[in-house]
Amino acid sequence: MLNLLNRFLFPGLLLAASANYGFSSPAQSKLLPLIPREAQIVAGVEDPRNPDTRGHLLLVTAKNAFDFDDWQSLIGVDTHRAIDETIWVAASSPQSQLNEHMLLVAGRFDREHIFQAAQRNGAAASAYRGVAVLLVKPFAREEAQMPDPRWMAILDGQAAVFGTPWLVQKTLDRYVDHAPADALVADRIGRLNPRVNSWDLLLTPHAAFAKRAVLGQPSAPWIDLLGREMLENAAELTLGIRYGTTARVDFIVRTAGDLNPSPGLTPRPMLEASSFQALAPRLENIGNAPNLILGTIALPGKQLYACFKQVACGEPAAALRAAR
C-alpha cells in the first residue's frame, strides 16, 4: 500500500479562498451525491476560514492540486463568489491508475460571467446531457504534466465541477439522474467526527496494493503519524483532522484480513524513527472490531501544522504548499 500511495499522493496543505463563515458536518454536504462510485480518493475541507485552522492536510494527487490552483484562476473574475466547501476526487480509469481527477465546490457562482471570461481566454463551450460545459485547455504552467483539456460545469449557480472529462461525465450523470449519495462514500463520511476541519478517504481496493508495499520507501508525515504497520495492512483509510490548540487526527483503518491491532496502537511503534517523536502525542478513544481499527491521535496543533508544512519526513519540503 505504501509504495503506491507514496507514488501518487500529494500531501498538500491547501486553503480554499473566499469562503463563507459557518460550519456543517461532512455527512450533510450537498456535494455527496455528486461523488462517483468510481472514486478512490476523496478529500474535503469543511470550514476553511475557521480561525483555529492553520492548514488542511489533504492526501490528494499532484493533479488534484493543479485543479485547485487552476479553478481559483478561472473564478477570479467573479468578485461575488462564495465558497462553502471543497472536495477533491481521484480515480483510476481503464487507461491508468489514479489518472482521473476532479474538484467539486459548493457555494455561489456567476456562471455566465465565469464562462464568458474563460471563453475569451480560449476555452470552448459545449454541453453534456443538457448541462452547459466548458472545455478548458491545459494551463501553460502544467501543460507537460496535464496535456489534455478538462471540463468545467456550474450547476444551478451553487455547485461547480472541474476535472478530467471521464470523471466529470460520471458526476454529471449523477446530477442529471438525481442519484443519491453512493452508499460506500456516505457510510465512510458518516463515520467522521462532525466537527472535522478537513478529511480524507482512501478507498482504493486492497488488491491494487497487494505485495507492493516497501518499508524502505521515503517517509511522509501522515505515514509516520499513523504507523507503517497499520497502513501496510490497510484496505481503506479514513482520516479526519480537527484543528485547534490541541489538534486531533481521527483515524479509521479497515484491514483486508485479521490484524492484531495492539502493536500499532502504542505510541512507541507508531512514532519510531519519526519526525513526530518530540511532539508527545497521545492516543484517545482507541477501539477495534473485526477488520477495523479506530481512534484519535491528539497533539499540539501548532506542532502538527509545523511538521506538515515544513517537514516532509523524507520528502522535499517544497512538495508541501500552502495556498492562502
Q: What are the extents of the domains in the chain?
A: 1-103+180-324
Q: DSSP label at 303?
A: H
Tell me how far apart the alpha carbons of residues 318 and 41 are, in angstroms, rounded to a whole number.
23
Dihedral sign, Cα of residue 308, residue 310, residue 312, residue 313? negative
Is residue 195 predicted with pLDDT exceeding 90?
no
89-98 pLDDT, tens digit each: 999 888 777 8
Query: What is the predicted pLDDT for the residue at 138?
Result: 85
Give the model's pLDDT for residue 289: 73
How many C-beta neighbours within 10 Å does residue 28 have?
12
pLDDT band per the 50, 70, 90 thresholds, residue 112: very high
pLDDT value, residue 142: 79
* pLDDT value at 322 more than 50: no
Question: Rounded to two decimals, what is the model's pTM?
Answer: 0.80
Highest mean pLDDT: which of 21-25, 186-190, 218-222?
Answer: 186-190
Half-sphere exposure of 182 (CA within 13 A, CB side): 17
Query: Residue 23 burial by CB count (10 A; 0-12/13-18/19+): exposed, middle or buried?
Result: exposed
Tell me, what's the pLDDT at 284? 80
pLDDT digits (tens, 9 = 90+) for 123-138: 999 999 999 999 998 8
Q: Does residue 102 register a pLDDT over 80?
A: yes
pLDDT digits (tens, 9 = 90+) for 240-297: 988 888 888 888 888 765 444 433 333 333 333 344 455 566 778 777 777 788 888 8
Give the integer Cα–Cα distance in Å for 129 and 238: 34
Tens digit of pLDDT for each residue in 144-183? Answer: 777 889 999 999 989 999 999 999 999 999 999 999 999 9
Overall residue count recorded for the chain in this entry: 324
